[in-house]
Amino acid sequence: MSVFIWQGLPEGLKAKHSRKRETGQGLVEYALILLLLAGLAALSLNLMGVSLKDVYQKVTDMFNGTEQVGSEQAACENYFQTDFDDSLKDWDNIDSDFWKGDWETEKGKLVGENLGALLYGGLNGQDYSVSLNGAQLANTKPTYQGYGLIFRASVTKERLNGYMFEVEKKNKNDPGTMYFSQWINGAQIQPPLASMTVPKNFDWSNPGSMTVKVSGNEFTAYLNGVPLLQTTDDLYKSGQTGVAVNSGSKLSLDDFSVDSPACQEQ
């Protein structure tokens, strides 16, 4: 019978074992340091009022292509569009002592008579981007030519309440003005919220496309894709959209569209 006596690990194996133990201890120490740094970073963000959940969501949205700006999602979405091939059954013609013009569809165009105002009844929202595309003006009088885009509007007893962005030429010597205005109980409030002279290259017969981006209390007007005028106001929070034409003009449109505000940024 032989007796085995344990004499410990050989020196080479002892060294390897020691190095593995030191490496393991080093990794644990690094992990603890990283956890400590992460904890300190989280504490700092919280003290500055930054939510880790919001940071994580923002990073995730960036990778998914849906990053949010405030309460507005960056993805473009169409709410409504028409090329006027159908009837105007979802539209409301304002018929009052002031607004007297009629509207009709003709060969895929919306046609409005002098002093006509029309609201789309199928959408009542807060934030959107509204576009009147392919506008053409037949100027029938030398005074008060032009047209306008109505937004955040409602009608009570045929009286308009809301906002309008308008392009107007008062007479032949007037270079023309573009402006934002309030309408309260059927009356246009003066002075306008914001105004400016129309660009020198503005074509009064073929003005093209007019867009108003409505986001919170901020309104931005575009002509043919170029931002030209901006203002802010808090009176009306939501409402319908539509179109109006001045007393000196007749208007035709190719199409009318309502999109999310983000569409105007792309």
Global pTM reads 0.73
Q: How far is 184 from 116, CA to CA, in rounded Å?
A: 18
Sequence-ordered list of residues with C-beta below 8 angstroms from that of 117, at least 6 positions apart, any chain: 93, 94, 99, 101, 150, 160, 242, 243, 244, 245
164-169 long-range contacts, CB within 8 A, separation 24+: 164/188, 164/244, 165/210, 165/212, 165/219, 165/221, 165/229, 166/244, 166/246, 167/198, 167/202, 167/207, 167/210, 167/223, 168/144, 168/246, 169/144, 169/145, 169/204, 169/248
Pairing mode of beta strands 145-156, 239-245:
antiparallel
Considering Cα of 185, then 258, then 116, then 194, what sign does the dihedral take? positive
pLDDT string in tens for the chain (266-residue length): 444 444 554 555 445 555 555 555 666 677 778 777 776 766 665 655 555 555 555 545 544 444 443 344 568 999 999 999 888 989 999 999 999 999 999 989 999 999 999 999 999 999 999 999 999 999 999 999 999 999 999 999 999 999 999 999 999 999 999 999 999 999 999 999 999 999 999 999 999 999 999 999 999 999 999 999 999 999 999 999 999 999 999 999 999 999 999 998 75
Question: What confidence tens digit (pLDDT) does each residue in 34-67 have?
Answer: 777 776 766 665 655 555 555 555 545 544 444 4
What does residue 23 show for φ and ψ, rounded to 5 degrees?
-65, -45
Q: Are 153 and 163 in contact (CB under 8 A)?
A: yes
The tokens of 207 are what? 């003005």
The Cβ of residue 126 has, within 10 Å, a number of other Cβ atoms equal to 14
Q: How far is 254 from 111, CA to CA, in rounded Å?
A: 9
